[in-house]
Structure 1
Amino acid sequence: MRPAEKVWAAAQFEQSAKLQARLHDLVPGGAHTYARGSDQYPEFITPILTRGAGARVWDVDGNEYVEYGMGLRSVTLGHGFAPVVDAVAATIADGVNFSRPTELELAAAEDFLDLVPGADMVKFAKNGSDATTAAIKLARAVTGRIRVALCEQPFFSTDDWFIGTTPMNGGIPDSAGAGTVRFGYNDLDSVAAALAGDDVAAVIMEAATATAEPAPGFLAGVRELCDRHGTLLIFDEMITGFRWSAHGAQHVYGVRPDLSTWGKAMANGFPLSALAGRREYMELGGLRTDRPRVFLLSTTHGPETASLAAFRAVVDEYRSGDPVGRMEHAGRRLADGVTAAVSAAGLDGHLRVIGRPSCLVFVTGDRGGAPSQAYRTLFLQELLRRGVLGQSFVTSAAHTDADIDLTVAAVRDALPVYRQAIDAGSVAGLLQGRPVAPAIRRSAHPRGV
């Protein structure tokens, strides 16, 4: 019997269910990150994990999974990657946090700026939201303007300037979102319209996403428009950095932003983010300026030694090996295998794998081919029951051919259930519980507990 042919019963998630219920008693939403919430997974299959190794993870019930997404895309080298673990262990034996900068801070900054030649200075922090908010604040200080142009992309920050523009804006003054204007990706006309009033401090965007590559001339056109209107260009490299390239999307597409923000895979899962940019702007947060100073970034834990040691070990691996190439190899093999299985099942148009090979997502459609959360949940349910965990097919350099083979087999074995739902025009009787819901939404409905 192939591993993927084993279908776990609900009883084999019993301990996870108990712990998830307890988490809801103690932690709002039952998780410390909304994207990890139980409402993002099938209602009665919400594994609580205990450990990981490479691309595999284990839950409290002893179930083993091939994991995708890898810590919300923060792990590119694999769980427990030995050179990172060894570097961290050796470093923290001499202390973690001090009252003055360490030599390690200088070495890590040199490593970062060597990787990102479009940046002159860098400042480290702990999460991406701090870095993007600092970039917005700096752009406002540089330009003397308040308005911000946001690309129509999913997420930039937990802070008011962004979350105030979303449906989940409880507790945020209406004025917080009033200073923003949105523009479409690959739509230069909408960028030009957003900047026409010469009152926008910054354009912030991902240069590319899992589902969208820049059209020829688009990024260069955005750069030219920002220069023409006196607006700073900010690239959010949280996902593209260390997944498109160690040098970021700005290197891949050959367009230099004024500022860029980094995080996620910088330290293979250890908490580290960065704001980087041109010296003339970054110095406003330093001691070599005659202008009013910007309170740029100042965090107690920003330069702690564990994450910086992890970052330097990640840099070493990217210099000596080819993690991006390994991610892309796994992604291409997975996309080819799943696409062939879907086609053989006659489900073309209902289930697709799309995106860059290192950042794949699956798209689930109903009987008419329209995107469907209910059908997505059914697919997640059947994969989980066959040992595959993930809201996407985002790979890491640790995904082996055996991991990919197991995943393709799991998909192949799950497709008859999906076929039944398509033929019936409904997931009723096949999906246990309620469908998943968007992580950022106004009310707990439809997945309140």
Structure 2
Amino acid sequence: MDPEDFLLPKSRAANERLHALIPGGAHTYAKGDDQYPENLAPVISHGRGAHVWDVDGNRYIEYGSGLRSVSLGHAHPRVIEAVRRELDRGSNFVRPSIMEVEAAERFLATVPTADMVKFAKNGSDATTAAVRLARAVTGRPRVAVCGDHPFFSVDDWFIGTTPMSAGIPAATTELTVAFPYGDLAATEALLSRYRDEIACLILEPAGHTEPPPGYLAGLRELADRHGCVLIFDEMITGFRWSEAGAQGLYGVVPDLSTFGKALGNGFAVAALAGRRELMERGGLRDSHDRVFLLSTTHGAETHSLAAAMAVLTTYAEEGVTARLHALGERLAAGVRDAAASMGVADHVVVRGRASNLVFATLDENGRPSQRYRTLFLRRLLAGGVLAPSFVVSSALDDADIDHTVDTVAQACAVYRKALDATDPTPWLAGRPVKPVFRRLA
């Protein structure tokens, strides 16, 4: 379908209702309609497997489902069955439920590099708890974050370092410093500059590129030598890299790690895991000053923990991680072939591990371009592909991949025309999509 003929009147009306009542028109900035071409931001009615339907009745093949959280596909039968069993049994009590220890046992059997785990509702709570724990254990104020990774938490210690720092005291932001991914010498220089001040190094163990040989082991050694805590943010890498996360794949054990997203297949559950001697500082069997680690009313809702247990079992029994890699490899090869056949291989670029693919849209000078991204997204949407990224779910099948590749090829043909004209404006039909982190709306 030509994008000019692809109209979403019900979605447009729903977006207006969303903006009237909800700041930003969504509960996650990455889901905002500013991330999509103007007037082509579908509002979702429902989803099943690898497909979603918008309120206008259009069906899409969906990538990046739930910001990478729905890795098994929507309404996965094993997950839904586990949740339904718990719904009639109550979801929250004045004392721990037996589900809490059963979920902890299942998680730690899957991620054996950790000794203890505490569940939460979102990744930000888990990463902030890890930072607080590191500060308590070391007695140091500063946090060192990997500056090459886009997001760690909604809390002040991180968001203050982004362009959306309004409302955050400078004194808080000054306690967070950055180190570059893959550069051990620069990280050691930072640790030496702030000697005995840095409580922790926090990073995603892998991203769009594989860690350089020896890098993670080198970080482990640096953290030990400088007396700081090594934290792996495994919100994305957890389960997508291996069932035991990136730490299981690369064989480097952090002091603390955080998990979420794929853990609940869309249900709200995250986890902080780590070494017993650190985690017990937030418990009742340690003699040090107590750390307010994680204490949330809904952190252990039984149906979310049931979902997590079902996800962990499904990954182990059905080889989900291997399937994600196989699907991603097939998709990446198809997209690259389509881009090459249309003469835009240097402009539509697929990056990342096969289980976690993203794409870059580059202009005639090879620079990232929001305008060309807008052109590309418009063509994908009109072709029934909802793809802010190319992150796969295991619910995709060969027909979905084939359709996606065909749609990409059509989009690349238009992309070539825009490059030849050195101006994509005629194909935008409105303002370009915008970056999430920016100072002004």
TM-score norm. by structure 1 comes to: 0.96
In structure 1, the partner of 2:157 is 161
Contiguous gaps of at least 5 residues in structure 1? 1-5, 445-449
Q: Secondary structure at the match of 1:289?
A: coil
Report the Cα offset of residue 7 of structure 1.
3.4
* 1:12 to partner: Cα distance: 3.0
Please tell me the residue identity of whatever aligns with 1:371.
P
Query: 1:447 aligns to what?
Result: none
Q: Which residue of 2 aligns with 1:16?
A: 11
For 1:164, give the aligned amino acid. Answer: G
1:177 aligns with 2:173: yes
C-alpha separation between the residues in 2 aligned to 1:277 and 1:415?
A: 45
> CA separation in 1, counterparts of 2:242 and 2:429?
40
Aligned match of 2:277 in 275, 280, 289? 280
The correspondence for 2:205, drawn from 204, 207, 221, is 207
Aligned to 1:3: none
Query: Residue in 1 aligned with 2:104?
Result: 109
Distance 1:167 1:228 in 2: 33
Deviation (angstroms), 1:107: 0.3
One-letter code of the match for 1:162? F
Deviation of 1:190 (Å): 1.3
Amino acid at match of 1:28: P
**Aligned match of 2:420:** 423
Corresponding position: 1:221 with 2:218: yes
Are positions 1:146 and 2:141 aligned together?
Answer: yes
Give yes or no for the alignment of 1:68 onto 2:63: yes
Partner of residue 198, structure 1: 196
Structure 1 counterpart of 2:23: 28
Deviations 1:419-446 (A, max 9, x none): 11101111111111111111111110xx
SS of residue in 2 equivalent to 1:168:
coil
Tell me, what secondary structure is at the counterpart of 1:233?
A: strand
The whole-number CA distance in structure 1 between the counterparts of 2:15 and 2:107 is 39
Deviation at 1:9, TM superposition (A): 4.3
Deviation at 1:238, TM superposition (A): 0.2
CA contact (8 A) 1:10 1:44 kept: no
2-structure distance, mates of 1:414, 1:348: 13
* Alignment-derived partner of residue 393 in structure 1: 390
- The Cα offsets for residues 355-405 of structure 1, whole Å up to 9 and x where unpaired, read as 111000111111122111110111011100110002100001111001101
Pairs aligned (count): 438
Q: Distance in 1 between matches of 2:40 and 2:5?
A: 7
Amino acid at match of 1:109: A
Per the TM alignment, residue 418 of structure 1 is displaced from its structure 2 partner at its CA by 0.8
Would the aligned equivalents of 1:125 and 1:273 in 2 still touch at CA under 8 Å?
yes
Amino acid aligned to 1:77? L
Match of 2:437?
440
Alignment-derived partner of residue 305 in structure 1: 302
* Residue among 230, 243, 246 paired with 1:246: 243
CA distance in 2, matches of 1:12, 1:102: 49
Change (3 A) 1:429 1:8: closer
Partner of 1:120: 115
Other structure's SS at 2:354 match:
coil
Q: SS at the partner of 1:167?
A: coil
Does structure 1 conserve the Cα–Cα contact (< 8 Å) formed by 2:349 and 2:361?
A: yes
Residue in 2 that maps onto 1:80: 75
- Decide which of 80, 88, 93 is 2:88's aligned counterpart: 93
Match of 1:265 in 2: 262
Q: Return the letter of the residue paired with 2:201.
A: V
Mapped to 1, the partners of 2:351 and 2:157 lie a distance apart of 31
Question: What secondary structure is seen at the aligned counterpart in 1 of 2:316?
Answer: helix
Distance 1:435 1:160 in 2: 29
Conserved? CA contact 1:10–1:45, under 8 Å = no
Question: Secondary structure at the residue paired with 1:358?
Answer: helix
Could you tell me how far 1:341 is from its partner in structure 2? 1.0
Report the identity percentage. 58
1:39 partner amino acid: D
Q: Are 2:130 and 1:132 equivalent residues in the alignment?
A: no
Query: What is the aligned counterpart of 1:407 among 404, 411, 414?
Result: 404
1:51 to 35, 46, 50: 46
SS in 2 for 1:212: coil
Deviation at 1:11, TM superposition (A): 5.7
In structure 1, how many angstroms separate the alpha carbons of the residues matched to 2:186 and 2:292? 32
Counterpart amino acid of 1:94? Answer: R
The answer to whether structure 1 residue 236 and structure 2 residue 236 are counterparts is no
Deviations for 1:23-76, whole angstroms, at most 9, x for unmatched residues?
A: 111110111100000111111100000111110000000000000001100011
What is the one-letter code of the residue matched to 2:99?
Answer: L
Cα distance in structure 2, aligned partners of 1:351 and 1:145: 44
Map Cα deviations across residues 62-98 of structure 1 (whole Å, 9 max, x no partner). 0000000011000111101001001101111111111
Normalising by the residue count of structure 2, what TM-score does the alignment of the two structures yield?
0.98
- 2 CA distance for matches of 1:75 and 1:31? 18
Q: Is the 8 A contact 2:265 2:308 kept in 1?
A: yes
